[in-house]
Structure 1
C-alpha cells in the first residue's frame, strides 16, 4: 500500500475522532490574513476552494461570510461528516470526494479567487509539490491567492500511519524556485491552536502577479 493510500486509510478509520479534535479549533489568526488578501469584491462574487476540507470547519466558516465554497477531501467518510454539520449552508458549499490527482484533471482554470489548503498539501511528497502548486495556481483568477500550511521541519516522515512532508524556509526556497508561474509569497510561523499540541506550523500565502 502506498503512503497516499495509508494516509487516506488513517482518515477513513479515524474520521470521527479527527472531526472531534479539529471542528472547534479557533482559526481566526489564519482566517484574517487569508481574507485580507482576497480581491476587492463582495463575497458572493468570489469562489474559495477548500483543498482537504477535513471536518468542514473552514468551509462552513467561509460560507457563513457569504463566499461560494468548493470543499474537497480524499475521504468520503470525512465529506459525509462535514456535510452533516453544514446543513444550513448547503446552498453555498459544493462537496466533492477527490484526490489531488483528480483535482488537477478538472477544467478549473481561473475558477477560484482563493485556494485554502490548511494542513493538506503536507501529505504531498516533496518532489511532487512544485508541480502540484503550479497547477493549483493556474486555477486562480489573475488576482487570486493560495494559502498552505505545513508542520515545521526539514524531512518527510510517517507518523501514526500518515505521511508528512514537513516544510521550513530552506525547503520552501528550493520548492518555489521550481514554480514558473509569476507570483509573490509571504511565509510565517504559528503555533498549533489545539489545546494538547505544541507544534510549530509553516504558513505560506502565495499571490499571482
Structure 2
C-alpha cells in the first residue's frame, strides 16, 4: 500500500466530495439498517452517502488526517484509522456488505487474496461484496517502473492493475457467487480521465 502518497493526497483535499458513480449505482441494492464496511474510505464521500441512506457504516483508512476530520464532522458514522488488509474488524459473519472502491489495486496480489478470504468469512450469509478497481486495460498500464506482475510505480505512485479473469476465478474458488463481473469505460469518469475499470458484485 502506497500509504504516504494517500496521506499527502487527502491532506491536500484533492478528492471529490460527491459520491462516486459506483456508490450511486449500487445504492438501490443496499438495505437500510444493514452493516457495511468500506475498505479504504479516503475522504469518506461514499461512506457518508451510504450513511445518509440509512446504512450502518464503518469506514477504515490509513490517512490519519482524513480519519480525524471525518470523526470530528460525522459522529454518527464509525471511521477508524487502520490497515484494511490486516484489520481485526473482519469478524466472522459480521457484515451485510463490504465495499472496496479503488482500494483493491493499491495492494499486492498476495494481499488481495488474503483480503478476499477474510472478507468472505466476515460476510453474513447472502452478504455482498462490491469491488471497483483499475484494469490491465487502463491507459496508465505499463507506465513508469515495473516492480512486479502488473505492478508499476508512476509519478511516485504505486498501482497494481487487475486481471478480471484472475480475480473472478479466485473469488469463485473461495466460494463467492459472482453476480456481476464487467470491465469497461464510463464507470469512473474524473475530469478528463475515463479509465477502464473492473466492477464486481458477489455474494456469499
TM norm structure 2: 0.82
Q: Distance in 2 between matches of 1:181 and 1:172?
A: 13
Per the alignment, residue 135 of structure 1 pairs with: 118
Q: Deviations over 1:74-117 (max 9, x none)?
A: 11122123345xx3x422x10100003432x3362111110111
Aligned residue runs from structure 1 range 54-203, under 5 A: 54-84=42-72, 87=73, 89-91=74-76, 93-103=77-87, 105-106=88-89, 108-153=91-136, 155-176=150-171, 179-188=173-182, 189-191=184-186, 192-203=188-199
Q: Distance in 2 between matches of 1:162 and 1:116?
A: 23
CA contact (8 A) 2:134 2:161 kept: yes
CA contact (8 A) 1:190 1:203 kept: no
The one of 41, 52, 63 equivalent to 1:53 is 41
The answer to whether structure 1 residue 21 and structure 2 residue 9 are counterparts is no
Consecutive unaligned residues in structure 2, runs of 5 or more: 138-149
How many positions carry a matched residue from both structures? 190
Q: Distance in 2 between matches of 1:102 and 1:174?
A: 23
Residue 16 of structure 1: CA displacement? 3.0
Residue 35 of structure 1: CA displacement? 3.0
The one of 30, 33, 37 equivalent to 2:29 is 37
Q: Distance in 2 between matches of 1:131 and 1:96?
A: 20
Moved segments of 4+, more than 4 Å: none
SS of equivalent to 2:14: helix
Residue 181 of structure 1: CA displacement? 2.5
Per the alignment, residue 12 of structure 1 pairs with: 7
The answer to whether structure 1 residue 204 and structure 2 residue 171 are counterparts is no
Consecutive unaligned residues in structure 1, runs of 5 or more: none
Cα RMSD after superposing both structures: 2.2
Residue 174 of structure 1: CA displacement? 4.4
SS of equivalent to 1:61: helix
Q: Distance in 1 between matches of 2:92 and 2:79?
A: 19
CA contact (8 A) 1:56 1:83 kept: no
Larger fraction in helix: 1
